[in-house]
Amino acid sequence: MKKILTLPTVTLFLVAILFAGGCKPESPSTRGPKKITIKLKAVEINGEMHLKMSDSNGKKGVIDTLETLVIPGDSVIWKLKLFSGIEKIDTISPKTAGKIMNKKAENIPGTKRFGLKIPDNAPMPSQREKYNIVFKDRDGHQWPIDPYLRIPKEVD
C-alpha cells in the first residue's frame, strides 16, 4: 500500500525542521569574528542634519544613537547609503580612547568607507563606548554625531 504525503503534512514537517534548527541567538563565545557594516544617511530634522543609521546586525532606521554590538576581532565598516545626502565623512574616532575603539577608523583607500578592527583583547562584555562621526552634507556644512559600540554578554 502506497502512502501519499499531503501538502499539510509536508508543510508541518518543514516548519518543524526550521524551528528546530536556529532559533537561539549566537553567543560571542561561539561565533567567530565577522564584518559588521554600518550604513549612514543624512536626514534633516528641525533644520539640523542627523544620521539615520542601520547595521548588519539588524538594527535599522536609528537616528544618531545607534548602538552596534560587536565582539573582539570583528571588523566594522562604515559606508554611505545610496543617495545618502552626505558629501564626505571627515573622521570616525572615539570620544575618549576606550577598550573597543582605541583609535580612529581608517579611510579605506579609493572609497568613501571607513574601517576599524575591534581589538582582540577588548573586554567581554563591555560598557558601551561613544564615538564621533563627523561628516559634511551636500551643502558643505560639517556635522558631528555620537553613536555607540558595545560588546554584549550575548549577541542579539
What is the percent of the chain where pLDDT is above 70?
78
Q: Give the single-character DSSP code of 96.
A: S
State residue 17's pLDDT score: 46
Query: Does position 102 have pLDDT exceeding 70, yes or no?
Result: yes
- Alpha carbons within 13 angstroms on the beta-carbon side of residue 93 total 10
State residue 7's pLDDT score: 56
Fold topology of 28-150: Immunoglobulin-like (2.60.40)
pTM: 0.77
The band of 37, judged by pLDDT with boundaries at 50, 70 and 90, is: very high
State residue 94's pLDDT score: 95
